[in-house]
Structure 1
């Protein structure tokens, strides 16, 4: 009859199992977003709206009751006039140069960098209004992208249809944070006027809704760092094959010796 394994070996195996289990557990308060507190919410999109910057690619269309009056401002062929929508593949684009200007038909060089999209629309409407009665102006950023990295379900770079996107919507496009993502220290890297700035957001607090990066700007990068359990599990993963092999050999030898 075979003898049982020594009690110490059994206890050691149980202890290792429990250590791994508890190292993977997360506190409930570490996972819940926007936990109740007395913080007043005062987020304003207009105060935090992203500003146009060098390198932005814009589509601009001018409309009016008299469509012929808009033709000098819309750089498209005559057969394309009348279909000036944002999805029109023939809609002309304008790239803001390093000095912050675009070259616009009839108006020449117009500085748009540093303005919000709404401010740029109002500025062009005033300029075009010198030639057209009550013109309509529409501007869209064609290369508005945000990047989400780290402990999210689907990291990647996402192109956004408009400039009104929140950090929550960006994380939603990335499939939300994994259970191993640190919600108290989400980093947003933003570049403005050639300078990079780093912001930290605690998604477990309501004050995150008041953050200056709650509304994202083009080319923002969001990074979610891994928690301690994730870091430890990566170490276990790297060494698991060797550890299991060695443990198996040791247990086999002990089983043979105690027979």
Structure 2
């Protein structure tokens, strides 16, 4: 009987030690943007997203005389039946950039916009509209600036950003931040440009990340946070718990029979 008790105690102690050591972490692996000798020189203007095929743009034209801009601001049928609170937004004209990077506007016809930054596209449309409108004002915004955050975060999912100026830290904040089990030193960013996907790794524990060309996000970026070793080990332990308990019970039973 004493032998059985000792075996049970040893087994329990072994499992407890395994769990404790598999969960160990350190401040170095957890704290974001730890100071170092990096010279910070990140400038947002260098990393402004460009318009890409399949982007959905809201384009509103205005001028001193609203009547002359009416042909360039067709009311969207999507706004029919909308509430008073969002009807104005719903009725704003939207345009989808086709596979060749072109949008088709009333009177202006086809305009190439892919590869342009938002402000560059505004300048181009203003120049085109100047032949019809005196001192036109153009506002362009992204309707589908979407970021997906997956993996070890509190609330994984896709998020529509209100502006194209968004950082990886802001996107992670919208997802509820990394869990304690997320690997901060090796966050994966998947980006598609011109139909080509590329993968980039960011170490959020280092201050130099602020200088990365991928610190500012582009539309349709996907962020993936992988689980740390403790989480992987815990998942393995959880999957094999029943097997371990069964084997341990069998061993104790055999020892009990042999020691009678």
TM-score (norm 2): 0.89
| Structure 1 partner of 2:52 | 53
| Structure 1 partner of 2:140 | 139
For the pair 1:105 / 2:114, whether they are aligned, the reply is no
Alpha-carbon distance between aligned partners in 2 of 1:86 and 1:213, rounded to the nearest angstrom: 36
* Contact 1:59-1:86 within 8 A present in 2 as well: no
Aligned CA distance change for structure 1 residues 62 and 86 (closer, same or farther; 3 Å): farther
| Structure 2 partner of 1:158 | 159
Alignment of 1:167-186 (within 5 A): 167-186=168-187
* Contact 2:7-2:252 within 8 A present in 1 as well: no
| Structure 2 partner of 1:27 | 26
Q: Deviations over 1:7-35 (max 9, x none)?
A: 46533431331122111111210001000
Q: What's the CA shift for 1:6?
A: 5.6
* Contact 1:35-1:205 within 8 A present in 2 as well: yes
Alpha-carbon distance between aligned partners in 2 of 1:168 and 1:252, rounded to the nearest angstrom: 54
Secondary structure, counterpart of 2:100 in structure 1: coil
**Gapped regions of structure 2 (runs ≥ 5):** none
Alignment of 1:1-259 (within 5 A): 3=2, 5=4, 7=6, 10-76=9-75, 88-248=89-249, 250-251=251-252
* Contact 1:56-1:96 within 8 A present in 2 as well: yes
Over aligned residue pairs, what C-alpha RMSD do you find?
2.3
* Contact 1:52-1:114 within 8 A present in 2 as well: yes
Q: What's the CA shift for 1:254?
A: 5.3
**Gapped regions of structure 1 (runs ≥ 5):** none
* Contact 1:5-1:258 within 8 A present in 2 as well: no
* Contact 1:187-1:198 within 8 A present in 2 as well: yes
Q: Deviations over 1:91-129 (max 9, x none)?
A: 121010111110011211111100111111121122212
Q: Deviations over 1:160-202 (max 9, x none)?
A: 1221111111111111111111111111010001111111100
Q: What's the CA shift for 1:145?
A: 0.7
Q: What's the CA shift for 1:87?
A: 5.2
Q: What's the CA shift for 1:4?
A: 6.4
Alpha-carbon distance between aligned partners in 2 of 1:102 and 1:240, rounded to the nearest angstrom: 58
* Contact 2:166-2:217 within 8 A present in 1 as well: yes
Q: Deviations over 1:194-247 (max 9, x none)?
A: 111111100000011111111111110111111111111110111112323443
